[in-house]
Chain A
Amino acid sequence: MTDEITPELFAKLVNLAAFAFDPKEAEYLRTELNKQLKAIRQLESVALDAEVPLASRGVTYAPESRPPLRADAWTPCENPDEILAQAPQVVDRYIIVPNIPHTELE
């Protein structure tokens, strides 16, 4: 159990999150994260009964309040060009990205 986000752990998180920071930003963020962790540790003082369930949301849905599943049907998009127009780079209606890292198989 790590009680503090160290510079090494912070660097790992930054890499996983696909971010890049200058040293000043990094130190500010790491300090704030550790302050927040201190507050989160308040939860350690809560006596948890083994029967306390996990709540993925507050309101529980009864069968009569749960919406029925939609039909599994394909609905054509009415404005695909409007959606494509949002992409930063499009050629011949293909979205273009830089080279995707890959390994050549021998």
Chain B
Amino acid sequence: MSIIDSPAYEIAHKVKHGELSAVAVLEAALERVAAVDGRPGTLDGGLLTDEDQAKVHAFITLTADRARVQAEQVDARVRAGEDVGPLAGVPVTFKDLYCLRGVRTTAASRILSNFTAPYSATTVERVEAAGAVTLGKVNLDEFAYGSSSESSAFQPTTRNPWDPARVPGGSSGGSAAAVASGQGCLSLGTDTGGSIRQPAAFCGVVGLKPTYGRVSRYGIIAFGSSLDCPGPLARDVRDAALMLSVIAGPDPCDSTAATVPVPNYLEEIDRGVKGMRIGLSPDFLRIAFPDPHTGEIIMEDLADEICDVTLRAADKLAAAGAEIIENIPMPNSAYGIPVYFVISRVEASSNLHRFDGVKYGYRSQGDFGDLNEMYRQTRAEGFGLEPKLRILMGMYVSAAQYSEHYYQRALNVRSMIRADFAAAFDPQGDYRLDALLTPTAPTPPFKMGDIYGDSLLMQYADQLTVSANHAGVPALTFPGGLSQEGLPIGLQLIGPDFAESTLFRAGYAFEQATADETWRAVKPRVLTEAGL
């Protein structure tokens, strides 16, 4: 086993104590990238070769030179007896929405393909100050608009390490695939409707959408400003807790970053689940989706293998001392996707108006008669179809004559979704839950090309995750088992505001309870086929 397959907390511990050099860890990470990633995503990536179809393609930009300098600095500081930080020598990647000073930051879009960030996101600064080594920037759906990572302008897009014919999920698909295939130990993604949790579930890793306001959004290219949550992807729950402890907390540069104290997640993680009340809701064991022919909304139970993994996890947690409360009503979560179609589009269109070819980014080359002509041509060439779709929908539903019918109604229903969670978690209420246990995604990872292009069906892939974004509450996904086809199935724990510590405790307890199960020893196919 390569050192890069070790947990981040073990690597950091060894580096801090001089038992392992950060340079050696970095070289192991770069060796892994060379073995499994294939060519990075580029604009106009050309035709896919057979080799391309067997690789992961997590990266847009590999920052190997910067990483070597950082690793050498970490080792020098350890030799000098300094405390390097909790992520000493840990290779990390960032979704290419995070600004990293001096490095290209593209949002996987042509319109930012030449943009070099003049400052770093607060989260990036905190991670690097904690001793991490930045391996590079990873691929995503263009501007984070999607659930498969296929809408990136940087091709080849990321593939699932468990089966490269399948999607890694999205929009943080590069982050999830990189962590799953050992291309770094940790990654930072963003979650607006499920964009950390769904790809983490599809790639068999852990992902956390923190409470809205738990982590600063400063320096991250915005999608839906009332929904966006930056968060970690990791290979185990402890590593996710370690990363959150580094990035969480108030930030003078983000007025929505809450001034709520950050607990010591690692100290609390092994306190177990004895006495914890964990709920199951029938509303998260079925899905509503549009009939592909008529467009009518159909309700259907989730596949047996998804339900079975969820109920088995409930049994494991019960055996560990939790009390399982069934039949928690969450009726308004069924409206999560329609509400999201409205709110996220309004916010996305507002955020995307700044990209106009004037101050930074791509500008169409031509002899333009006037400024408006330049705007039109630049935006037509610079944006892919998905951002254009979101801008147009956002403008329509927020237009003065339609706003009351669509946007305000969506904000009302969002209150009702939040009220369902508030009732479930109310310490004086009927259910008094510490967490709600659900599947993360309605299906295992689907094949590339199967859904891409159908914007409606693609959005419904987020049905089980999006409600937590509307409510603002934290949610943790972790591997729950494998499907009959050997693909990862993820589980989700949703908690009350700022209860990330509770979610880590329960997720960690499940990891411990299943540590010896055979499915845990199964590796992603790209690793076994590379002899790793």
Contacts and interface: CB of A to CB of B under 8 A. Distances in A.
B168 interface: no
A8 B363 CA distance: 28
A19 B371 contact: no
B492 interface: no
A52 B412 contact: yes
Contacts of A59: 211-213, 258, 472-473, 497
A1 B402 CA distance: 7
B446 interface: no
A53 B372 contact: no
A32 interface: yes
B410 A43 contact: yes
Interface string B388-411: 110111011100001001101111
A52 B258 contact: no
Given A55-B411, A61-B258, A42 B338 contact: yes
Contacts of B406: 40, 43
B469 interface: yes
A65 B498 CA distance: 11
A42 B335 contact: yes
A35 to B, nearest CB: 5
Contacts of B392: 10, 13-14, 17, 19, 29, 33
Interface of B: 115-116, 118-119, 211-213, 226-227, 250-252, 254-260, 288, 290, 295, 297, 332, 335, 337-339, 341-342, 349, 356-363, 368-377, 379-380, 383, 385, 388-389, 391-393, 395-397, 402, 405-406, 408-416, 418, 455-456, 459, 469-473, 497
Contacts of A89: 363
B396 A19 contact: no
A56 interface: yes
Nearest to A71: B252
A105 interface: no
B415 A55 contact: yes
B213 A18 contact: no
A38 B454 CA distance: 14
Given A66-B258, A98-B369, A99-B371, A19 B116 contact: no
21 contacts: A1-B402, A5-B396, A17-B391, A19-B379, A29-B388, A39-B459, A40-B397, A42-B338, A46-B413, A48-B412, A56-B411, A58-B469, A59-B211, A59-B473, A67-B254, A83-B360, A88-B358, A88-B363, A97-B358, A97-B374, A100-B371
Contacts, number: 196
Nearest to B212: A59
A98 B371 contact: yes
Contact of B471 (A41, A58, A86): A58
B440 to A, nearest CB: 19
Contacts of B413: 43, 46, 48
Nearest to B467: A58
B389 A33 contact: yes
Given A18-B372, A18-B376, A58-B212, A35 B456 contact: yes
Contacts of A9: 396
B422 to A, nearest CB: 10
A94 to B, nearest CB: 12
A46 B470 CA distance: 16
A45 B119 CA distance: 46
A55 B338 contact: no
A91 interface: no
A58 B472 CA distance: 4
A55 to B, nearest CB: 4
Given A40-B342, A40-B406, A59-B211, A20 B377 contact: yes
Given A52-B415, A59-B212, A97 B371 contact: yes
Given A25-B385, A53-B412, A61-B213, A35 B374 contact: no
A36 interface: yes
B335 A36 contact: no
Given A29-B389, A66-B259, A40 B118 contact: no
A52 B473 contact: no
Contact of B259 (A10, A39, A64): A64
A51 to B, nearest CB: 10
Nearest to A102: B370
Given A28-B385, A56-B411, A19 B380 contact: yes
Contacts of A69: 255
Contacts of A36: 341, 393, 455-456, 459
Given A20-B376, A58-B472, A88-B358, A67 B415 contact: no
A72 interface: no
Nearest to A5: B396
Contacts of A103: none
A35 B328 CA distance: 32
B338 A39 contact: yes
Nearest to A61: B258
Interface in A42-87: 42-44, 46, 48, 52-59, 61, 64-70, 79, 82-83, 85-87
